Amino acid sequence: MLDGVRLPDAARLPGATSLGAPLSCLNEARFGIVFGALGAARDCLEVALDHAGTRVQFGRPIAAYQLTQQKLTDMALELGKGFLLALHLGRLKDAGRIRPEQVSAGKLNSVREAIAIARECRTILGGSGITLEYPVLRHANNLESVLTYEGTSEMHTLVVGQALTGIPAFRTAPDPTSS
């Protein structure tokens, strides 16, 4: 806890004139997560794909069953869409045109979809999926914390909601009956 702390002017962050300076660091870190979370999802999908092709049940690899193929297809689609969004945001960033709510949209989408992919891959691995023999649950566990740090999924939802509606919903309206 920091309470009543006073610092000399020499301790000021060089070039910083407002809270925007430290917040811009968060924007950088969040942008990294847009790609990082998808990397975890890609590892999960590669492991699940390999396992589905080699694990034989009822005389066939489980990759031969339509339910497994649907899972793999849906995950590949979400991963591909996530990467395209990340790439697009990266190009906007390189051009110096990315807006904070776009970083929020990217972080929210990447982490949310990566967790969903990790969980789905876990089902393809069956019982083995709950062990640390495979990296999938380790990724899922890590992604749970990524959902919270660098801005919770709820906060990024509200950032995008504000960008769409112009109405900030971070605080409830003051109670008109209270004095």
Is there binding between residue 154 and ligand FAD (CB under 6 A)?
Answer: yes
Residues 134 to 153 in contact with ligand FAD, rule: CB under 6 A: 145, 148-149, 152
For residue 7, give Cα distances in angstroms to 13, 23, 42, 156, 159. Answer: 11, 20, 45, 32, 32
Is there binding between residue 54 and ligand FAD (CB under 6 A)?
Answer: no
Is there binding between residue 24 and ligand FAD (CB under 6 A)?
Answer: no
Is there binding between residue 128 and ligand FAD (CB under 6 A)?
Answer: no
How many chain residues interact with ligand FAD (CB under 6 A)?
7
**Contact (CB, 8 A) for 108 and 30:** no
Residue 69 or 148: the one with the smaller Cβ distance to ligand FAD is 148
Q: Which two tokens stand for residue 76?
A: 């590949």
Q: Report the phi/psi class of residue 178: left, alpha or beta, with left for phi > 0 and alpha for psi in -120 to 50.
A: beta
Residue 51 or 156: the one with the smaller Cβ distance to ligand FAD is 156
Residue 28 or 154: the one with the smaller Cβ distance to ligand FAD is 154
C-alpha 126/C-alpha 123 separation (Å) is 5
Query: Which residues form the interface with ligand FAD (CB under 6 A)?
Result: 145, 148-149, 152, 154-155, 170
